[in-house]
Amino acid sequence: MYVRVLPDQAAGRLLDYRVPEAFAGSVAVGSRVRVPVRTRLLAATVIEVLGESDVRGVRDVAELIDAKPMIRPALLDLARWMSEYYCCPLETAVCSVLPVAVRDGRVAEKRRNIARIAGEVSDEDLAALEKRAPRQADALRALIEAGGHLAVAEAAGRAGVAEGVFRALEKRGLVVIESEAVARDPYSEKFVSTAGVTLNSEQEAAMLAVGEAMESPGMPILLFGVTGSGKTEIYLRAIRQAVECGRTALVLVPEIALTPQTVERFKSRFSDIQEKIAVLHSHLSEGERHDEWHKIHSGAARIVIGVRSSIFAPLENLGIIIVDEEHENSYKQDEAPRYNARDMAVLRGHRERAAVLLGSATPSLESWHNAQSGKYRLVRLDQRVDDKRMPVVRVLDLRQKSRQSPEGGLLSRPLKDALEGRLAKGEQAILFLNRRGFSTSMLCEACGHVCQCPDCSVSLTYHRAAERIVCHICGHTARAPKVCPKCKDPGIRHAGVGTQKIEDAVRRIFPKARIARMDADSMTRKDAYRETLGAFKEGKIDILVGTQMIAKGLHFPNVTLVGIVNADLGLHMPDFRAGERTFQLLTQVAGRAGRGEMEGEVLVQTFTPFSPSIQFARHHDYEGFMEQEMEFRRAFGYPPFARMVLVTLRGVMRERVEFSAQTLARKLRAAAPKGVAVGEAAPAPLERAKTYYRFQVSLRGPSSMALSRLTRSVLDSLPMPEDVFVAVDVDPLHLL
């Protein structure tokens, strides 16, 4: 017996090996093995089982990593498709369906260090130590107080010292450190089950559709329901139904910040089968991920809740795949393979005959288009469950100088007054800052004008070095203006503020208020989200300042005011999706206000009060916005009316990157069939990142797969300088 394998690191080469008698019975397609390649042993995936091989001097498979094939054929097929569609090497695609933690079968059980006091410690000993090494004394005292032994990490936390201090104590002979194995369970708390509610008629109709889809899967369902319309209730029942029919359920949620509340809700609803739920997200330790994955692989888990990469969870007999907040950008992977988990869900559901349920209060333009054109079945929940009214949204025009408050700078007077009023009443507020990495569009603070490409209708990017503004879709370029082209005010500039700055300003204005900040920088610890959100929920925080992270899915009954500090920033990203994103974000953020008994209020600060994104969001008019946005996309030939591929080249030598990009653009244009447009090579909006210069070439045409094949064939025949790196993004979400 022979096998054809794909090593994890062998540049797409398929190699043949003989399977020794010892494990001939266990090797199948999808098995993970270790094979000798030259002088090394490499982990590899079995792609094919062969009766014979005509390779001369064929070598033996050295080792079988797991007795059961680790990649099911269906997932291997998915990887093959992904490699072709997303234009990435097959081994990259294959690796992505297996978490690192299980890929080479080498994750050991989890261990932790326990510190134990070595013998009696007298008060004199402690006093002496205090003089020589006060931190060691603190550490020792923490151990004594804990009864003589404690996990090092825990003890270090209690004593407020680094873990290394315990090593120093060990050297002194005062403490012994031992390692012990621990079982991992990231969500080991018990939850109480919530009582079921009676569905309203819209929800009944939605369940009927879900039932039909599970019975005879065909079209994915787009569940379009405003925040608080009871979508999650539908998810919960759909999962229950799948599991009761003996099938499995996969739920994707967009972000870790959402996971605590969502996971809690799922776990409590399924507390009777708690051991059958697996949770996969990016904050798990390697060991935890390993354990959860094996729980799914072995068939013990019937329900999987997880982020993007969970779309490859090795569940069998899938009944339903649910994608919550399907419009979320975090479903798109930003390294190869650059897949969109929402789209993979549709594909996987189709292939494994599972129902697919995509839910959102603000569906993506792509999904809305699919629903309109009959590719998806549209199911609506138009009523909020409790008949609560949507919050009142007020737009504050920052161009009027009188609005700007002298001490706040970033906080206008009306927003400041509103905060003051809510604080006085003991209610809570959220201050939201739209921060998308960076801002390089040019915005006039006097009239709100933004420099745009005349042909592509996206914001032009300001490039400081050359003092020019550039369109990175078509390559159009012009000198950066010194005064606003529209009103001649010299106040044209590019702006960006950080959450930290807002937090400081708010602290200055409201010294007595309890304020917390939530963004990627302040939330690096695993439990930070849960703690901060918990404290906010318990009313221990008055004002929560944050970014995208706090925009979605969270439910805080006592929040009556949401202030959006800079609605514009996202709007002027050099991206045709800027308007859609801003609309979604404003709608989601606004949905955080007035979730309880009290009516909510949303204040939106902006320099462009009449932009459609802001106006439609203000009136809670999703369909109005979609209609207008669809027209814009159609007129300019943007997705979903055309497909796009973005090739980004980066390297340390600017000229070399630019030259390579120009060559690539030329070759692509020469090879492009009719109907495919290839843009000029242009500096990326984010021209320099991490010491690399970046240039881009964009392609547009009717089919992603065709664009992808064209790109691959041209790249394969085009030798790149060694220090120029190429990234291909098919169906890109961000054009940075």
For Zn ion, the binding residues (CB under 5 A) are 453, 455-456, 471, 473-474, 476
Which of Zn ion, ligand ADP, none has residue 228 at its interface (CB below 5 to 8 Å by kind)? Answer: ligand ADP
Residue 124 CA, chain-centre distance (Å), reads 55
Half-sphere exposure of residue 195, counting CA atoms within 13 Å on the CB side? 2
Q: How far is the CB of 198 from ligand ADP (least distance, A)?
A: 6
Tokens found for residue 32: 């993970």
| Cβ distance to ligand ADP smaller for residue 20 or 596 | 596
Q: Which residues have a Cβ under 8 Å from the Cβ of 670 and sit 6 or more positions away?
A: none
For residue 716, the one-letter residue type is D
Mapped to the 3 state alphabet, what secondary structure does 407-469 carry? CCCCCEHHHHHHHHHHHHCCCEEEEECCCCCCCCCCEECCCCCECECCCCCCECEEECCCCEE
Q: Is 609 in the site for ligand ADP (CB under 6 A)?
A: no
Helix extents (H) in 311-396? 341-351, 365-372
Tokens found for residue 711: 């790109």
| Cβ distance to ligand ADP smaller for residue 233 or 343 | 233
Q: How far apart are CA 235 and CA 253, in angstroms?
A: 12
Q: How far is the CB of 223 from ligand ADP (least distance, A)?
A: 9
| Cβ distance to ligand ADP smaller for residue 534 or 675 | 534
For residue 593, the one-letter residue type is A
Residues numbered 139 to 198 that lie near ligand ADP (CB under 6 A) are 197-198
Which of Zn ion, ligand ADP, none has residue 232 at its interface (CB below 5 to 8 Å by kind)? Answer: ligand ADP
| Cβ distance to Zn ion smaller for residue 470 or 567 | 470
Q: How far apart are CA 685 and CA 675, in angstroms?
A: 26
Using alpha carbons only, give the angle 712, 718, 723 rounded to the nearest 5 degrees.
105
Which of Zn ion, ligand ADP, none has residue 335 at its interface (CB below 5 to 8 Å by kind)? Answer: none
Which of Zn ion, ligand ADP, none has residue 456 at its interface (CB below 5 to 8 Å by kind)? Answer: Zn ion
Total residues at the site for ligand ADP (CB under 6 A)?
14
Q: What share of the chain is helix, strand, coil (3-state, %, to 5)?
A: 35, 25, 40
Which of Zn ion, ligand ADP, none has residue 474 at its interface (CB below 5 to 8 Å by kind)? Answer: Zn ion
Cβ 202 vs Cβ 321: under 8 Å: no
Q: Is 477 in the site for ligand ADP (CB under 6 A)?
A: no
Q: How far is the CB of 386 from ligand ADP (least distance, A)?
A: 6
| Cβ distance to ligand ADP smaller for residue 266 or 692 | 266
Q: Which stretch binds ligand ADP (CB under 6 A): 83-91, 148-156, 231-239, 429-437?
A: 231-239
Residues numbered 306 to 335 that lie near ligand ADP (CB under 6 A) are none
- 314 phi/psi in degrees, rounded to 5: -80, 50
Which of ligand ADP, Zn ion, none has residue 476 at its interface (CB below 5 to 8 Å by kind)? Answer: Zn ion
Q: Is 232 in the site for ligand ADP (CB under 6 A)?
A: yes
Among 83, 136, 203, 441, binds ligand ADP (CB under 6 A): 203
Helix axes 622-636 and 578-590, enclosed angle (nearest 10): 170
Q: Is 499 in the site for ligand ADP (CB under 6 A)?
A: no
| Cβ distance to ligand ADP smaller for residue 166 or 536 | 536
Q: Which stretch binds ligand ADP (CB under 6 A): 225-233, 460-468, 483-491, 687-695?
A: 225-233
What is the distance between the terminal CA atoms of the chain, rounded to a whole angstrom? 49
Helix H or strand E segment including 356: strand 355-360
Tokens found for residue 202: 């819209």
Which of Zn ion, ligand ADP, none has residue 199 at its interface (CB below 5 to 8 Å by kind)? Answer: ligand ADP
- Point out which residues bind ligand ADP (CB under 6 A): 197-200, 203, 225, 227-233, 385
